[in-house]
Amino acid sequence: MTGQNPVFIPGPTNIPDRLRYAMSIQTMDHRAPDFIELLSPLLDDLKKVFKTKTGRVITFPASGTGGWEAAITNTLSPGDKVLVARFGMFSHRWIDLCQRHNLDVEIIECAWGDGAPADLYGARLAADTNHEIKAVLVTHNETATGVRSDIAAVRRAMDAAGHPAMLYVDCVSSLASMDFRMDDWGVDLAVSGSQKGFMLATGMAIVGVSEKAMEAAKSAKCPRTFFDFNDMAGANDKGGFPYTPPLQIMYGLRASLDMIFEEGLDNVFARHARIAEGVREAVRAWGLKLCAHRPELYSDTVSAIYVPDGFNSDELTNHIFDHYGVSFGVGLGEMAGKAFRIGHLGSLTDVMALSGIATVEMAMADLGYPVELGSGTRAAQEYYRQTTKTALKTAA
């Protein structure tokens, strides 16, 4: 019925045709030379996106959750202590995963809407004089609350504490959309996936692995096979895969990297920042509040927005879907019913973003929200038109 409306969920994203065609490749033999020629530059180019020169990239046919599991099980042993802050649904789920793998999880509870508390991380690490903590886990972009955390600050806290733990970062919904610096920030495990900044179908977990983490994989005792780093890295080094590779997504990823490099990583980030700021202008005009507590926490890939008291955000997203055929993100966990989310990542344009904003307004008017119809759209229009020249120059 409404198949050509964009989606505004925070991933999977709207897929550009170029990538859909790339992923439609007919079956080829994954043991043939063509595949070898594909694989090695693909993994190398992924390193550029992670901004790592010393690490390597390992991929699995799985979703981002599989990437988390790979990072944990390859580098830790049952009983190992990990330190992690919980401030949203995805940090919550990662904690649960660690617990199921019998790790000793020390949790820093934060308010949802807050970011990773570098100071608290630092305090705990400083107190851990025996260095029992083996891993520090941080969610770079908490998709449930639209919060981007300061990974560099966490690294500085770790260094200040002189603590040797490894740093694990969930960058599923930030990589290739917002700046990420694996080497500069001293990240040991960086977990991402195909369906966010890379604008592809779901189906590939993409993990940046530092040398230190690869070394840890030699002795880590958490059981794993499908997600084994050594199997995968060893096979990759010979041009292969330890099992059937997800060929279509790999060719899609080749095209995605081409698109990203053609535009330029910095231009990709600037484009995301501009689209996001337009959405935030709309939220301000509506008089609504973002879940993210402070401007420096605002995510450029997703905005989580509180509905006014007395309204239910699920009713809003359902109404939009039923009446206008457009999908927005629902509130997750603590935010269920209280907030909805606008995903603004991937190949979205300002023009597409305006249609999403205008649609939210219609639905809010339908449901009697105290929001002026057109107000957010106008605010976003104003912002987009004032910034359009820059946008075009960087995209050229």
What residues numbered 225-244 form the site for its own copies, per CB under 8 A?
225-228, 242-244
Number of CB atoms found within 10 A of residue 285's CB? 21
Q: Rounded to an integer, what distance in angstroms lies between the CA atom of residue 354 and that of residue 69?
A: 37
Residues in the interface with its own copies (CB under 8 A) total 104
Tell me the DSSP string of 148-182: E--HHHHHHHHHHTT---EEEEE-TTTTTTS---T
Only one residue has tokens 């550029």, namely 48
Alpha carbon 377 to its chain's center: 26
Site for its own copies in 35-64 (CB under 8 A): 60-64
CA dist 207 and 25 (Å) reads 24
Residues 73-132 that bind its own copies (CB under 8 A): 73, 78, 96-97, 100-102
> Using the rule CB under 8 A, is 361 a contact of its own copies?
yes
341: annotated binding-site residue? Answer: yes
Phi and psi angles of residue 210, each rounded to the nearest 5 degrees, phi first:
-75, 165
* H helix or E strand, kind and range, residue 216: helix 211-216
Q: Which stretch binds its own copies (CB under 8 A): 47-55, 119-127, 159-167, 193-201?
A: 193-201
Contact 11, 196 (CB under 8 A): yes
For its own copies, give the closer residue by CB, 162 or 287: 287
CB of 81 to its own copies, least distance (A): 17
Query: Which is nearest to 206 in space by CA: 59, 52, 20, 388?
Result: 59
Segment near its own copies (CB under 8 A); pick from 51-59, 154-162, 210-218, 368-376:
368-376
Q: Is 284 in the site for its own copies (CB under 8 A)?
A: no
Six token digits for residue 208: 């940046």
Establish if 203 lies at the interface with its own copies (CB under 8 A).
yes
Ranges within 293-332 binding its own copies (CB under 8 A): 321-327, 330
Site for its own copies in 253-272 (CB under 8 A): 263
Report the residue from 49, 136, 138, 247 that binds its own copies according to the rule CB under 8 A. Answer: 247
Task: Tell me, residue by residue from 3 to 22, as one string, x for binding to its own copies by CB under 8 A and - for no binding.
Answer: xxxxx-x-xxxxxxxx-xx-
Binding-site residue ranges for substrate: 341
Binding-site residue ranges: 341
